[in-house]
Structure 1
Amino acid sequence: MRHTDDELDLAAARFEQLADNLDPDTDEVDHTDDLRTIADAAEAVTADQARLREAVALARAHGRSWNDIALALGVSRQAARQRFADVAAA
């Protein structure tokens, strides 16, 4: 199941709040470094997806074909168009 950017941002914010509210003097917890790494990676994925969508929109605005964009993405023309057609129309 794919999650929306808003869902990922909300989950990362909830994790950050939980992690920040931990009191090591009173709470018995395991180290959360691995979970923080997951939250950081999720944030990076969200940011990278936004950058990719902006880059595709810019390429389309500059007249690039779906074939050109698909080649840069390493996918078929149909896959590129299906994934980013809403971005190009905006």
Structure 2
Amino acid sequence: MQHTEDEIERAAQRFEHLADELDPDAVEVDVTDDLREVAVISEALRADEVHLRETVNMARARGRSWNQIALALGVSRQAARQRFA
């Protein structure tokens, strides 16, 4: 839907009026640094999980036992096998 020149001009004037009335000192800003950090760390964990799976698969392909991998992970053989097999 295309707008007429008059509609565009009226919208621009409304925006200017609203912008002129805006008091920056009265505006409440929701600081989201904590949520941004949660998202960044979550993405890093997903990437690390992918890297860990690839590394475990490579170790298995090179003949490493589940016992050896479990020892490197600090978990039981069964836990390593269940997680990565």
TM-score band, normalised by the shorter chain?
0.5 to 0.7
Q: Distance in 1 between matches of 2:38 and 2:81?
A: 30
* Structure 1 match to 2:78: 78
Deviation by residue 1:21-62 (Cα, 9 ceiling, x = unmatched)? xxxx7x743111111000000000000000000000000000
Q: Distance in 1 between matches of 2:32 and 2:70?
A: 39
Alignment of 1:1-90 (within 5 A): 28-85=28-85
Q: Which runs of 5+ in 2 are unaligned?
A: 1-23
Aligned partner letter, 1:76 = S
Aligned partner letter, 2:42 = A
Aligned partner letter, 1:84 = F
TM-score normalised by L of structure 1? 0.63
Count of matched residue pairs: 60
Percent of paired sites with the same residue:
70
Secondary structure at 1:81's aligned position in 2? helix
